Amino acid sequence: MKIAIILGTRPEIIKMSPIIRECEKQGIDYYILHTGQHYSYEMDKIFFEQLKLPQAKYNLDVGSGKHGEQTGKMLVAIEEILIKDRPDIVLVQGDTNTVLAGAIAASKLHIKIGHVEAGLRSFDNTMPEETNRIIADHISDYLFAPTETSRKYLLSEGIPEERIFVTGNTIVDAAYQNLVISKDGDDILKELGLKEKEYFVATTHRAENVDSRERLGRILSSFSQIYKEFDLPVIFPAHPRTVKMIKEFGLEVPEGTRLIEPLGYLEFLQLESGARMILTDSGGVQEESCILKVPCVTLRDNTERPETVDVGANLIAGIGENIVECARKMLESNPEWENPYGNGNAAELTIQSMVTDYSTKYSSIESPEQIQY
């Protein structure tokens, strides 16, 4: 059995890193196809090296662009590679345009599809990610749901139960494994002059927040109020686009908010782990804060990670005064909540489920020599 792992963004690399390591451990024939959705592969090579992962076999270097343009370029290139290599299974993770292109290409070539982190729903159809994840789920053969909640969403949409495997989330595996790797590098807290549990971390990158002067202004104002009330600095590793929009809107970074350059993943993992609280609009950061037992306030009106709220690790604040109120509540909470995403063995369960099911159902079936259109 041969597996093609298709990824194109750093969050995908992070969440697929335990899958890649498990394939190596079990001696499974696999390769990595990197679309270059966010960065060129040359920029991501260092990231692969930091996480001690093998390099990608294929690099598409698609780059940014409009949704249709970007997805179309990836679809054409991925299809050519899949026809040439004819893997038995294509694995994708999450809800990016890379996921959409990889899943569609595999589906049309009658290649089995495994969707890691299946069944997430924000129920916000204005988000392109929601479209991507729904389509990927409905054309996948193996849906690796991180939680029972995700499984229930999939069943409610008519997806057959036998396709769904509740494995936990590979973000748990990744956080545990990569936090150990991060200890081999620089001590980011020492570099920034910080002490554990004596600072907050903030991130915001979503268009709904960054591209709105009102929303971005109210978020920055809430950081100011949090600093004044709790007398702890807000460390804000800001995406270049966020910095650009702050300047374009004529906004000011308030006293007590420390704007710093974006950090590498391993450094940011250290920063998250040592924080007193995290304020974010990132789904992945919501998960990581829950896993690391750091209280979280989400700067959005909804979340596709409701489990973090259910266990008491996270509150959905929206924007404005409610952010400060939610921060008060989270700082008073007990961080000994149950991790809803598993015990750090999601990658092992994912590979085991897929290999067992595939060998039982399909190993004796020969693939067509070539598929014609």
2-169+342-361 belongs to which homologous superfamily? Glycogen Phosphorylase B; (3.40.50.2000)
Q: Is the pLDDT of residue 268 over 50?
A: yes
Q: What does the alpha-carbon distance between residue 56 and residue 38 come to, in Å, rounded to a whole number?
A: 15
CB neighbours (10 Å) of residue 183? 9
Percent of the chain with pLDDT over 90: 82
For residue 180, give the 3-state DSSP assignment: helix
Q: Are strands 2-7 and 164-166 parallel, antiparallel or unpaired?
A: unpaired
Q: Looking at this protein, which amino acid is placed at residue 80?
A: E
Residue 368's pLDDT is 46
Q: What does the alpha-carbon distance between residue 338 and residue 293 come to, in Å, rounded to a whole number?
A: 9
Per-residue model confidence as pLDDT tens digits over 65-108: 889 999 999 999 999 999 999 999 999 999 999 999 999 999 99
Is-contact 7 36, C-beta < 8 A?
no
Q: In sequence order, what are the beta bridge partners of 300? A: none
Greater model confidence, 348 or 42: 348
Q: What does the alpha-carbon distance between residue 273 and residue 3 come to, in Å, rounded to a whole number?
A: 33
User: Is 2-169+342-361's fold the same as 187-331's?
Assistant: yes
Per-residue model confidence as pLDDT tens digits over 210-247: 999 999 999 999 999 999 999 999 999 998 889 999 99
Q: Is the pLDDT of residue 369 over 50?
A: no
Is-contact 95 125, C-beta < 8 A?
no
The residue-averaged pLDDT of 176-202 equals 93
pTM: 0.85
User: CA dist 171 to 61, 102, 221, Å?
Assistant: 25, 21, 31
What are the tokens at 180?
Answer: 């150990």
Q: Could you state, in order of their start, the residue ranges of all structural domains in the chain?
A: 2-169+342-361, 187-331
Q: Is the pLDDT of residue 58 over 80?
A: yes
Q: In what order do the strands lie in the sheet with 164-166?
A: 58-59, 29-34, 2-7, 89-93, 112-116, 142-145, 164-166
Domain 187-331, CATH number (from 3.40.50.1000, 3.40.50.2000, 1.10.3720.10, 3.30.360.10): 3.40.50.2000
User: Which sequence positions are flagged as catalytic?
Assistant: 205
Residue 224's pLDDT is 97
